[in-house]
């Protein structure tokens, strides 16, 4: 008699949409918040603290009938730099890629320096990405460094 216990996560398949996989467990709710998925009108499924051979634990988000724009993928990359994006069309994987943190960020993050001109005037915040792993962004205007811990999304 086989005494193995099979563990399986059953989540309904999506016909069209996007799966965001390999999100750090502690970043799942942040990804939901920065993508404004809490107010999305179609199905959004998420799980956190799932077992991952590569990362220990991970999170996953499935979003029905939504395909993310490049600026949204950049937001994901800032909080989950190893996340994979899987596009589903007609219940089949149409495309799969790992998010890539860009070298330059514009208009998606606020400068943490309250005296920065972007926080005083109607200027779009721009940053050079100094470190893609630890996430360190240098403001184009005031040259202050924004880190992963001080990120504030617009």
Task: Give kind and range of the element (H or E) at residue 152.
Answer: strand 152-153
User: From 3.40.50.150, 3.30.70.140, 3.40.50.300, 3.90.470.20, which CATH number describes the 17-98 domain?
Assistant: 3.30.70.140
For residue 2, give the 3-state DSSP assignment: coil
Task: Give alpha helix (H) positions in 20-154.
Answer: 28-34, 70-79, 117-120
Domain covering 104-153 in this structure, CATH number = 2.30.30.20
Give the model confidence (pLDDT) of 64-122 as tens digits: 999 999 999 999 999 999 999 999 999 999 999 999 999 999 999 999 999 999 999 98
Say what the pLDDT of residue 87 is. Answer: 97
Q: What is the pTM of this model?
A: 0.85
> What percent of the chain shows pLDDT beyond 90?
82
Sequence ranges of the domains in the chain: 17-98, 104-153
Common-topology check for domains 17-98 and 104-153: no
For residue 48, give the 3-state DSSP assignment: strand
For residues 80 and 70, what is the distance between their CA atoms, to the nearest angstrom? 15
């Amino acid at each position: 008699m086989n005494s193995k216990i099979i563990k399986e996560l059953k989540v309904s398949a999506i016909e069209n949409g996007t799966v965001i996989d390999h999100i750090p467990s502690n970043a799942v709710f942040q990804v939901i918040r920065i993508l404004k998925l809490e107010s999305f009108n179609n199905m959004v499924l998420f799980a956190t603290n799932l077992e991952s051979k590569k990362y220990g634990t991970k999170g996953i988000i499935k979003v029905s009938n939504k395909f993310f724009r490049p600026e949204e993928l950049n937001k994901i990359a800032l909080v989950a730099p190893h996340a994979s994006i899987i596009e589903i069309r007609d219940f089949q994987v149409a495309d799969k890629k790992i998010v890539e943190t860009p070298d330059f960020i514009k208009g998606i993050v606020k400068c943490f320096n309250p005296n920065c001109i972007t926080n005083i005037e109607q200027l779009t915040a721009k940053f050079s990405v100094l470190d893609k792993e630890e996430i360190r962004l240098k403001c184009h205007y005031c040259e202050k460094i924004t880190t992963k811990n001080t990120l504030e999304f617009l």
